Amino acid sequence: MMRTVELPLWFFVLIVLFAAVTFASHFLFPSVRWFFRRRLERAVAKLNERLTRPIEPFKLARRYDMIQRLIYDPEVTQAIVDHAEANDLPENVAFEQARRYAREIVPSFSAFAYFGFGIRAARWLANTLYDVRTGVDNDSRLKAVSPDATVVFVMNHRSNMDYVLVTYLAAQSSALSYAVGEWARIWPLSRLIKSMGAYFIRRRSRGLLYRKVLARYVQMATQGGVTQAIFPEGGLTVDGKLKPLKMGLLSYVVEGFDPDAGRDVVFVPVAINYDRVLEDRVLVAAHQRGDRRFGARISVVMGFILRMVWQKIRGRYTRFGIAGVSFGAPLSLREHASNGSIEDLAADLKDRIAATMPIVGVPLLARVLLEADGPMTRDALHDAVADALSRARGTPPGVSRDSFRGFLNRALGLMTKRGVILEDNSTWRVAEDERPLLQFYANSVDVMLTVEDDVTPNAATAKS
């Protein structure tokens, strides 16, 4: 028992390492985790004091716990059994498939990543690229929603900048949970996006098991009071028009809603419009081809960033005009559920988005120039725009109907600089090869120039 045993040095070191790991995992790591979790809980409590809609416990739950809760949900369990029977699979195989779906969907929200990094980055990027203007009714419409209700922002989708803008503008309200597509599953972007509270969806998946796992997660988050943001058009608009809203995520929210119990769900329509969409040429090219392939080489993206940096260094950088964001009249699902279908809900939300669409300079000038018979002088452009505004249901962001000359001159300069319109002897005309691009922008304001009389007018907007 007391004999000396010789061991190779490498083996002795390995034993010591295993012993150290065992000690840490049983005694040290739990204490460290408890210490940091206590600090995090105090930080979140302090943060919730300044948020209009505090972060709900559901959003702060551990990701592992949420995955377990999701895959053992009775409806998901039944879907696993049905999937196994329909595909002649062992139930444990179907169960593991559901677990993979759950791990793919469920985010790992970090309040530090969201408020410490995400909000600051969104604010910096939005204000670096655009002159951000918001609807004067945005704050009042959010404050009017019951604090006990779950808020779901329903937005049109013109650019990937939409995520950045709404995250920044909703920062004083709550932490948003986005539904993002396959593009966001690329590592390391996927880790960052999950830490920001976003959840992944497979837009083309038709599997019943996958859809049940996704539906139950959306319903659990909604019942847990998580503030969400969805793009029910199903993707970026390739022609600039506001598309009919798809039923997918909306139907999940509606199907899991009990109007006689639990919290209400309030949809807040959000309309977004730009003087320049960063991906405009990519989207127009996809529309002309008739597909939705938005492939962009990394060299092109890096070249765009480097040109911006070089212009900034030389003092020649100018922002891409106005980005307007307006919140429409909220819609209570409890009030709607008693007298409407999911199709009626989608149509109503689309009308509310259209009714509050910001009218910004480039789209409005694009519409006027495309309808012109020939080159137009500056005064003729101003008169045509004034006439269009007299028939519209919105107002240019940050200016009144009577003082928009500077607003239009700025947009005119942006379009001339890009070469989408040509100046000749103080007149402006469409560059023929850029007509599809101008049509893309003009389509975004058609909903405001042709909206029905019974739709609530959009209020003027103000500088953010």
Concatenated DSSP letters for 136-203? TTHHHHHHTS-TTSEEEEEE--S-THHHHHHHHHTTTT---EEEE-GGGGSTTHHHHHHHTT-EE--T
Residue 450 binned pLDDT confidence (cut-offs 50, 70, 90): low
d(C-alpha 224, C-alpha 175), whole Å: 14
Residues 6+ positions from 307 with CB-CB distance below 8 Å: none
Whether 256 contacts 218, CB under 8 Å:
yes
Has residue 239 got a pLDDT over 70?
yes
The closest of 135, 103, 47, 109 to 360, measured between CA atoms, is: 135
Q: Which helix (H) or strand (E) holds 131?
A: strand 131-135
Tokens of 401: 């109907």
pLDDT of residue 121: 84
- Whole-number Å distance between alpha carbons of 245 and 181: 16
C-alpha torsion sign, points 295, 299, 302, 307: negative
Say how far residue 287 (Cα) sits from the centre of its chain.
22
Averaged pLDDT score across all residues of the chain: 81
Q: Which residue has the higher pLDDT, 135 or 186?
A: 135
Mean pLDDT of 372-398: 78
Integer Cα distance of 379 and 446 in angstroms: 23
Residue type, 96: E
pLDDT at residue 426 tops 70: yes
- The CA distance from 433 to 288, in Å, is 13
Q: Which residues pair with 133 in a beta bridge?
A: 324, 463
Evaluate if residue 112 carries a pLDDT over 90. Answer: no
Residue 293: pLDDT over 50 = yes
Structure tokens at 383: 């008169």
Averaged over 343-356, what is the pLDDT? 91
The DSSP output letter for 445 is T
- For 77-108, the pLDDT digits (tens) are 999 999 999 999 999 999 999 999 999 899 88
Crossing angle for the helix pair 208-223 and 248-255, to the nearest 10 degrees? 60
Kindly report the backbone phi and psi dihedral angles of residue 51, in degrees, each rounded to the nearest multiple of 5, phi listed first: -85, 140
141: which 2 tokens?
A: 């419409």
Q: What are the tens digits of pLDDT across the range 270-286?
A: 999 999 998 899 899 98
Cα dist. 213→56, 95, 217 in Å?
21, 11, 6
What letters, b where the CB count within 10 A reaches 16 and e where it falls short, cover 255-289? ebbeeeeebbbbbbbbbbbbbbbbbbebbbbbbee
Beta strand pairing call for 265-274 and 150-155:
parallel
Q: Over the stretch 184-235, which tens digit does the pLDDT of each residue have?
A: 565 555 666 777 778 888 877 778 999 999 999 999 999 998 899 899 988 8
For residues 20 and 8, give the distance between their C-alpha atoms in angstroms, rounded to a whole number. Answer: 19
What DSSP string runs through 382-421?
A: HHHHHHHHHH-S---TTS-TT--HHHHHHHHHHHHHHTSE
Least confidently predicted of 154-158, 200-204, 286-290, 362-366: 200-204
| Per-residue pLDDT at 390 exceeds 80 | no
- Other beta carbons less than 10 A from residue 201's beta carbon: 23
53-67: average pLDDT: 83
Q: Distance between CA atoms of 435 and 370, rounded to whole angstroms?
A: 8
Task: Give the pairing of strands 322-327 and 265-274.
Answer: antiparallel
Residues 314-330 pLDDT 10s: 877 788 889 989 899 99
What Rg value do the Cα atoms of the chain yield, rounded? Answer: 26
Q: What is the mean pLDDT of residues 149-158?
A: 92
22 by DSSP, 3-state: which?
helix
Under 8 Å between Cβ of 219 and 211: no
Question: pLDDT grade, residue 41 (50/70/90)?
Answer: low
22 vs 274, residue with greater confidence: 274
User: Which pLDDT band holds residue 461 (cuts at 50, 70, 90)?
Assistant: very low
| Structural contact between residues 71 and 99, judged by C-beta atoms closer than 8 angstroms | yes
